[in-house]
């Protein structure tokens, strides 16, 4: 539980209890001793940033979750949590977004780009979404139908990262779609109700690509389809939505009002 530990000069300092450490020698040390102690407990420190009231901020993460750490002016204590000003404004969010969240988002987006996907929409569309799609997923079909106005207007390109997780024949159907002469058309026809024709011999290359897509989905902690990743308007951060969204969420995901 996060505790309020002190209030000074209009600043509210929050910290997880128990994270106070004695200062060792700072000579030739990259980080202060309290930060090094936190690193030993699994904290990853990314960058130092300026903070008010004599504090020094450190942008960090734990298992991908952004964490702000503040070291006191005397260098003898670390405070983990959110720093607020007198008006209640969050002073930790911006540096964390810039120094931790932004680079993490960029790395994840690159992983998605490097996966095997089927494009749906204009390559020059201003808004791109990656969505994990299983050929046997009814909610994937619904999401496909929901996105038609934006895709057909050239505003959105969907990139379907094909996976096979729902039924016994999901992998074979996914591989068949990936191996089609025109994967985009094959996926559209399937989403419009046509059965996927599974060839007698499946491509080993596409089998490997499907396996990599399944592994990517698991590594990100996702277990349901569709799971869709997209950039939001706020700070251009990545967001994730699972399932077929409601209208308000759909508009947010598409990045613009319904055409």
CATH of the domain at 179: 3.40.30.10
State the distance between the two ends of the chain, measured CA to CA, in whole angstroms.
Answer: 45
The token pair at 74 is 């005397």
User: What stretches of 173-242 adopt beta strand conformation (E)?
Assistant: 227-231, 238-242
Same domain, 28 and 148: no
* Long-range residue pairs from 231-238, CB within 8 A, at least 24 positions apart, any chain: 231/127, 231/128, 231/255, 235/97, 235/101, 235/102, 237/97, 237/101, 237/102, 237/105, 238/105, 238/108, 238/109
Tell me the average pLDDT across 4-9. Answer: 30
Same domain, 121 and 234: yes
DSSP character for 196? P
The SS3 assignment for 222 reads coil
Between residues 132 and 63, the one the model is more confident about: 132
Same domain, 120 and 96: no
Between residues 91 and 199, the one the model is more confident about: 91
The SS3 assignment for 217 reads helix
Same domain, 95 and 128: no
What are the b/e assignments for 3-41, b being 16+ CB within 10 Å? Answer: eeeeeeeebbbbbeeebebebeeeeeeebbbbbbbbeee
Q: Quote the pLDDT of residue 63.
A: 84
Same domain, 173 and 92: no
Q: What is the pLDDT of residues 209-242, one digit of tens each?
A: 999 999 999 999 999 999 999 998 766 789 999 9
Domain that holds residue 80: 3-100
Q: Is the pLDDT of residue 6 over 50?
A: no
Query: Domain for residue 106, yes or no?
Result: no
Query: Domain for residue 215, yes or no?
Result: yes
- Global pTM reads 0.78
Q: Among residues 100, 133, 153, which one ends one of the domains?
A: 100
The SS3 assignment for 58 reads strand
Q: Residue 70 in contact with residue 13, Cβ under 8 Å?
A: yes
Report phi then psi at 71, rounded to 5.
Answer: -100, 135
Burial status of residue 217 (CB atoms within 10 A of its CB: 0-12, 13-18, 19 or more): buried
Same domain, 95 and 166: no
Average pLDDT, the chain: 87
Same domain, 187 and 229: yes
CB atoms within 10 A of CB 42: 9
């Amino acid at each position: 539980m996060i505790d309020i530990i002190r209030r000074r000069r209009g600043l509210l300092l929050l910290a997880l209890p128990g994270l106070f450490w004695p200062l060792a020698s700072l000579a030739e040390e990259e980080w202060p001793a309290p930060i090094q102690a936190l690193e030993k407990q699994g904290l990853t420190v990314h960058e130092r940033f300026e903070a008010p009231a004599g504090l020094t901020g450190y942008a960090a993460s734990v298992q991908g979750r952004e964490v702000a750490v503040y070291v006191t002016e005397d260098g003898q204590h670390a405070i983990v949590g959110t720093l607020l000003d007198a008006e209640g404004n969050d002073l930790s969010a911006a540096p964390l977004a810039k120094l931790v969240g932004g680079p993490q988002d960029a790395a994840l987006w690159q992983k998605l780009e490097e996966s095997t996907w089927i494009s749906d929409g204009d390559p020059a569309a201003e808004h791109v979404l990656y969505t994990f799609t299983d050929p046997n997923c009814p909610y994937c079909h619904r999401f496909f139908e929901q996105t038609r106005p934006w895709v057909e207007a050239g505003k959105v390109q969907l990139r379907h990262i094909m996976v096979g997780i729902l039924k016994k024949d999901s992998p074979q159907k996914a591989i068949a779609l990936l191996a089609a002469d025109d994967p985009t058309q094959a996926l559209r026809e399937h989403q419009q109700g046509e059965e996927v024709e599974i060839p007698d011999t499946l491509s080993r290359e596409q089998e490997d690509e499907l396996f990599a897509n399944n592994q990517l989905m698991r590594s990100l902690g996702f277990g349901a389809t569709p799971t869709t990743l997209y950039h939001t308007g706020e700070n251009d951060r990545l967001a994730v939505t699972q399932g077929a969204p409601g209208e308000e969420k759909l508009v947010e995901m598409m990045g613009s009002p319904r055409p």
